[in-house]
Amino acid sequence: MLDAFSRKAVGWAFEDRLDASLAIAALEKALDARKPKPGSLIDHSDRGMQYASIAYRQRLADRDITLSMSKPGRPFNNAKAESFMKTLKAEEVNGKAFADLNDARRRINSFIAEVYNKERLHSALGTNRPLSSKPPSRKTMPVTHRDNPAVTVISCLTSGVQSSSPIE
């Protein structure tokens, strides 16, 4: 899960299957990290079965989080999450061999927490890092936050890492 304003990855989870429990685990990690006020979040995702599931939608409702889903055939509606996944695959997954799922989990966790959130520059943030102390300028702030800075938008990422490298 990404904070759409800061581009920081705030919640992620890894399993050997893609289902609602994986999306819920990532959501809970994001909520535990940020502790948002009820009613202050919009969860935007693609139309994957894990996000459309009754269990996931119920968890959003229980936390007073507004659900927003991309329209069918409109992948650019979820461009921030798709860009994150492209970066993760290109910079950490593709071409790498992992000893097992725990090795993949450890290395990918490290990449997200230490490289993506702390080191990687983002043009949308005025070439700042997600955890930079320097806030983005008003010109680089997403329109939704210029109009209503109290709303934090969280984008769900497409869960599950696919690679041409086998996890042995």
List pLDDT tens digits, range 1-27: 888 777 888 889 888 888 899 899 999
What confidence score (pLDDT) does residue 120 get? Answer: 79
| Among 29, 63, 68, 38, residue whose Cα is nearest residue 52 | 68
Least confident of 17-31, 91-105, 118-132: 118-132
CA distance 46 to 40: 20
Residue 69 has pLDDT above 90, yes or no: no
> Which stretches within the chain are classed as H helix?
20-34, 49-52, 54-62, 79-88, 101-110, 143-147
Single-letter residue type at 98: F
3-state secondary structure (DSSP) of residue 165 = coil
CA distance 46 to 72: 9
Domain boundaries, the chain: 2-155
Place of tokens 């936390």: 63
pTM: 0.71
Query: In this structure, what DSSP letter does residue 35 have?
Result: -
* Third-level CATH fold of 2-155: Nucleotidyltransferase; domain 5 (3.30.420)
CA distance 164 to 160: 13
Bridge partners (DSSP) of residue 44 are 68, 155
Least confident of 45-49, 105-109, 141-145: 141-145
List pLDDT tens digits, range 27-66: 999 999 888 888 888 888 888 888 889 999 999 999 999 8
Q: Hey, CA dihedral for 141, 6, 92, 156, is it positive or negative?
A: negative
- Determine contact, residues 34/60, Cβ cutoff 8 Å: no
Place of tokens 């080191």: 119
Number of other CB atoms surrounding residue 76 within 10 Å? 8
What confidence score (pLDDT) does residue 147 get? Answer: 40
Residue 138 has pLDDT above 60, yes or no: no
Average pLDDT over residues 71-98: 82
